[in-house]
Amino acid sequence: MSTGLRERAAAELVRTRQRSVGLTDAVDDDDLVRQHSRLMSPLVWDLAHVGNQEELWLVRDVGGREPVRADIDQLYDAFKHPRGDRPQLPLLSPAQARAYVRTVREKVLDLLDTVELEGRPLVEQGFAFGMIIQHEQQHDETMLATHQLRTGDPVLVAEPPPPSRAIVAGEALIPGGPFEMGTSLEPWALDNERPAHAVDVPPFFIDRAPVTNAMYQAFIDAGGYDDPRWWSPQGWAHRQEAGLTGPGHWHGDGTYTRFGRREPIVGDEPVVHVDWHEASAYAAWAGRRLPTEAEWEKAARFDPATGRSRRYPWGDDDPTPEHANLGQRHLSPAPVGAYPAGASPAGVHQLIGDVWEWTSSPFGGYPGFRAFPYREYSEVFFAEGDHYRVLRGGSFGTDAAACRGTFRNWDYPIRRQIFSGFRCARDPRPGELAD
């Protein structure tokens, strides 16, 4: 592992921990141990869990060192304890959790200076460190979602997103033909992003921007939540059972609540906190559909001028604040047109950041998939793949370290506590593509 790569891993570890500390130090100890929703863990569980994963993989596995706290492994095993049961466990107190993650991190930074990082796939190109950085950043986004669900006075502050800088409307035609989906080269890509493989995608049209609050309000105003024609049988049953009348945190009076602040709905922001059923119903009402996962990735990565797949819509360079709304710099999606520098060659905007975008595809492995380094990251979810739907692109709560053009997220179709939105696609009409 080169000196530059060691320095990068160390810097990312430090930067990631600063975010975790900020999200947990923002509230008092009572808030840290409280469960704000049965869909979420107490914040103190997330904090100790990221430390435990860091200890398991880096201190013990990569470093071969003695355990720091082997007695707590089962408490922070996400597969042994559903989120709703975690407050009843004998968890570390806030002070103990903070001391534990500090101790683990000290050992990891010491390890990073000395460990041999050759000869094992787990450590090649710093993969194990990248995996742990991404894992913690994923939990930072989960903790941000917990903050959205908590009650009480606002505690998080961030600068507003930039204003719209470009008029973005309509749809883009993505040409038919094969493209390279997934990756075999991205050093920190996770197992479900691998391997790269050719996928032949017929031509399709995709929205240049995500569906906005104003567009979604039109669906509500047209009686979309009262008309089963637009909903699948499962979606309609869930809408009725859950009593859904609009996106999560909307109050029905033109306002919504964000991180404890009630504000007027901004019409040109991407709609957020909608589940897969709601997104599908809107698309049906609009005479469209959700894109498949392959369509989404082709729109985000394929460059028709070169015939190759880029890392991001704008190219191969890492995201900057000019490209995308990532990293919790802002606490909301940005208005449509706020990131013209991040557009794809086809003129599709805001594919990265702002809101996770639902696709129509169930979650499963690519041809040639190999679980690495453990089945529980991806493979165990494939058996229930039809129960999960893939989301792409990241959100304003996602860090760039955990967001690529190949990155795959997945969740149940009824989930909307996540920062989820969508855009629509459609097939060409007969004769539409004729010369």
Whether the per-residue pLDDT at 198 is higher than 90: the answer is yes
Q: How many Å apart are CA 294 and CA 262, to the nearest integer?
A: 37
Please name the helix (run of DSSP H) or strand (run of DSSP E) that holds residue 381, with its range, or none. helix 379-382
Return the pLDDT at 68.
97
With a CB cutoff of 8 Å and minimum separation 6, the contacts of 130 are: 9, 12, 187, 188, 401
Buried b (16+ CB within 10 A) or exposed e, 26-60: bbeeebbbbbbeeebbbbbbbbbbbbbbbbbbbbb
Q: How many Å apart are CA 220 and CA 254, to the nearest integer?
A: 12
Confidence band, pLDDT 50/70/90 cuts, at residue 435 = low
Beta bridge partners of 322: none
DSSP state of 188: T
User: Residues 332-349: pLDDT tens digits?
Assistant: 999 999 999 999 999 999
User: Residues 222-274: pLDDT tens digits?
Assistant: 999 999 999 999 999 999 999 999 999 999 999 999 999 999 999 999 999 99
The pLDDT mean for the chain works out to 96
Whether the per-residue pLDDT at 284 is higher than 80: the answer is yes
Proportion of the chain above pLDDT 90, given as a percent: 95
Return the pLDDT at 71.
96
Distance of alpha carbon 42 from the chain centroid: 20
Whether the per-residue pLDDT at 386 is higher than 80: the answer is no
Q: Is 201 helix (H, G, I), strand (E, B) or coil?
A: strand
Cα Rg of the chain, angstroms: 22
Proportion of the chain above pLDDT 70, given as a percent: 99
Whether the per-residue pLDDT at 359 is higher than 50: the answer is yes
Buried b (16+ CB within 10 A) or exposed e, 254-268: eebebbeeeeebbeb
Mean pLDDT of 66-88: 95
CA–CA distances in Å: residue 360 to residues 138, 279, 280, 395, 428 = 23, 10, 8, 18, 18
Return the pLDDT at 90.
97
Whether the per-residue pLDDT at 214 is higher than 70: the answer is yes
Strand 177-181 with 425-426, pairing:
unpaired
Q: Which long-range contacts (CB under 8 A, 24 or more apart) does 2-5 make?
A: 5/125, 5/126
Whether the per-residue pLDDT at 218 is higher than 80: the answer is yes
Mean pLDDT of 11-36: 97
Return the pLDDT at 2.
60
User: Residues 144-185: pLDDT tens digits?
Assistant: 999 999 999 999 999 999 999 999 999 999 999 999 999 999
Confidence band, pLDDT 50/70/90 cuts, at residue 117 = confident
Please name the helix (run of DSSP H) or strand (run of DSSP E) that holds residue 339, with its range, or none. none
Confidence band, pLDDT 50/70/90 cuts, at residue 1 = very low
Buried b (16+ CB within 10 A) or exposed e, 101-129: beebbebbeebbeebebeeeeebebbbbb
Query: Residues 397, 138: contact at Cβ < 8 Å?
Result: no
Q: Which domains does the chain have, with CATH numbers?
A: 3-149 (1.20.120.450), 171-212+271-426 (3.90.1580.10)
Confidence band, pLDDT 50/70/90 cuts, at residue 129 = very high
